[in-house]
Amino acid sequence: MRALGAVLALLVVSLLAGCAETFDATTLGVPATLASPAGTPPAGDRFQVSSKAVFGFWGLAKIKQPSLRKALGAQLGGSSGIADVKIRSRSRFTDILFTVLTAGLLVPRTVTFEGVVTK
């Protein structure tokens, strides 16, 4: 009876906690906004950077977390900031194929950061 309870608890945790990602703008060191004021697009250079996130054990453990700070390190110098930030996380065909081949032990995701580097 205890084993059934443990298996049920593990199943519930597995269903509720898979492949969660968090992104924190306070670690960038520059101002970051998700949207600019209506009617006034931000001035600056547009960027689009893709990175991989890797989870283990069916999404329960984070192995590799993508970092916007590392991806844009050279462009974020001085008093610049980031505006109109969009973060997309998706599974491409190769990500799904790798997940199937490893039986879910490794789960890669493609994360794309888009936005404008302001001056």
115 phi and psi angles, rounded to 5 deg: 165, -165
pLDDT of residue 59: 78
Mean pLDDT per block of 10 residues along the chain (119 residues) reads 77 58 68 76 83 85 82 68 83 89 88 84
Rounded-to-integer distance, Cα 60 and Cα 82, Å:
31
pLDDT of residue 101: 92
Name the residue among 93, 88, 54 with its Cα closest to residue 68.
88
pLDDT of residue 17: 54
Degrees to nearest 5, angle at CA 78 with 72 and 82: 45
At 40-61, the pLDDT tens digits run 888 888 888 888 889 888 777 8
User: Is this prediction's pTM over 0.75?
Assistant: no
